[in-house]
């Protein structure tokens, strides 16, 4: 039953603060309890925050990020992390038309969920898919407009039972 451990997560409402906030707190607690031993703990959550930050940096490429113009719709509570519906929308047209979208789950073993390149659909963006979530967290959508602007939206999702697509920690490389 080793693999079962990660599959059942408590119902914890994700913090509405910046993603990674709760992680730092957990990391701090772990450090406080375990001292130097924690530094060698595999899969320690600080690494997850770094993975998320580097994913964001990769997408934004130094450009400023706007918090308006993009919407991420998701259920506040998901019974199961196996399949959580999410919808990304934007009213932008012309230079504000969304041409690329990336979905990120900061607390998943693999932070990047998907990248969508949008062609000339002739309508404002409305994109839906279903994602896996290992635990409760704030999912982030990043978008790039035709004019080169970067937009960001997020949605806090409380997961009752984590997505069991992930039993194992991520192997390096």
Tell whether residue 158 is a contact of another protein (CB under 8 A): no
Q: Which residues contact 57 (CB under 8 A, 6 or more apart)?
A: none
Part of the chain binding another protein (CB under 8 A), chosen from 8-16, 27-35, 101-109, 153-161: 101-109
Q: Which residues contact 14 (CB under 8 A, 6 or more apart)?
A: 22, 136, 137, 138, 156, 157, 158
Tell whether residue 16 is a contact of another protein (CB under 8 A): no
Tell whether residue 69 is a contact of another protein (CB under 8 A): no
Least distance between another protein and beta carbon 33 (Å): 27
Tell whether residue 118 is a contact of another protein (CB under 8 A): yes
Part of the chain binding another protein (CB under 8 A), chosen from 10-18, 60-68, 77-85, 153-161: 77-85
Contacting residue, 35, 122, 172, 173, with another protein by CB under 8 A: 122
Number of residues that bind another protein (CB under 8 A): 38
Helix (H, G, I), strand (E, B) or coil at 58: helix
Tell whether residue 123 is a contact of another protein (CB under 8 A): yes
Give CA–CA dist 27/44, Å, rounded: 7
As given in the structure block, the two tokens for residue 144 are 């790039």
Among 93, 77, 96, 95, CA closest to 85: 77
- Maximum CA pair distance of the chain? 57
Smaller CB distance to another protein: residue 15 or 129? 129
Contacting residue, 2, 36, 40, 68, with another protein by CB under 8 A: 2
Give CA–CA dist 144/135, Å, rounded: 27
Binding positions for another protein, rule: CB under 8 A: 2-3, 82-84, 103, 105, 108-110, 112-123, 125-132, 163-170
């Amino acid at each position: 039953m080793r693999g079962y451990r990660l599959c059942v997560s408590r119902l914890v409402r994700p913090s509405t603060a910046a993603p990674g906030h709760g992680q730092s707190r957990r990391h701090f607690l772990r450090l406080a309890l375990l001292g130097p031993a924690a530094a060698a703990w595999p899969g320690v959550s600080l690494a997850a925050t770094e993975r998320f930050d580097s994913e964001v940096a990769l997408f934004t490429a130094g450009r400023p990020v706007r918090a308006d113009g993009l919407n991420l719709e998701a259920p506040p509570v998901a019974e199961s992390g196996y399949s959580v519906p999410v919808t990304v929308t934007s009213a932008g047209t012309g230079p504000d038309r969304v041409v690329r979208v990336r979905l990120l789950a900061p607390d998943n073993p693999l932070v990047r969920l998907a990248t969508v390149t949008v062609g000339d659909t002739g309508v404002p963006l409305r994109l839906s898919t279903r994602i896996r979530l290992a635990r409760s967290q704030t999912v982030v959508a990043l978008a790039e407009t035709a004019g080169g602007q970067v937009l960001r939206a997020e949605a806090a999702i409380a997961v009752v039972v984590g997505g069991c697509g992930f039993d194992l920690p991520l192997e390096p490389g």
